[in-house]
Amino acid sequence: MNKYKGKTIIVVGHSMGGALAVRTMEQIEKSEEDSELKKAIRALVVIDVVEETAMEALPYMENFVKNRPSDFPDLRSVVRYGIVTG
């Protein structure tokens, strides 16, 4: 697939998103071999914060992950979902 040829992708995650970003990169490393997607990824940035509010949110994270869509038809839908759900 040439969809990613000549592109630069930086994967960024914060807190639980950081864990998801790392897992995503692991999956790409294992399954994408020499794909254009893998070649396009230039950086992984994980921003983690240890604070009381993050610890208080943990019980709600499982429910949040279970209720999110498993896939999206296009990038516009991903962005719209992120904006609407905060």
Domain count, the chain: 1
Alpha-carbon gap, residue 34 to 9, rounded angstroms: 15
The per-residue pLDDT of the chain, averaged, comes to 82
pLDDT of residue 10: 92
Q: Is 1 part of any domain?
A: no
Residues 42-64 have pLDDT tens digits of: 999 988 765 666 667 777 777 77
With the C-alpha atoms ordered 84, 65, 44, 71, is the resulting torsion angle positive or negative?
A: negative
More confident residue, 60 or 82: 82
Question: Which segments within the chain are labelled E, that is strand?
Answer: 9-14, 41-47
Q: Is 42 part of any domain?
A: yes
Q: Is 3 part of any domain?
A: no
Q: Is 48 part of any domain?
A: yes
Q: Is 2 part of any domain?
A: no
User: Above 70 in pLDDT, residue 31?
Assistant: yes
Q: Is 40 part of any domain?
A: yes
Question: Residue 18 sits in which domain range?
Answer: 9-85
**How many CB atoms are located within 10 Å of the residue 13 CB?**
19
Q: Is 33 part of any domain?
A: yes
The answer to pTM > 0.85 is no
Alpha-carbon gap, residue 7 to 5, rounded angstroms: 5
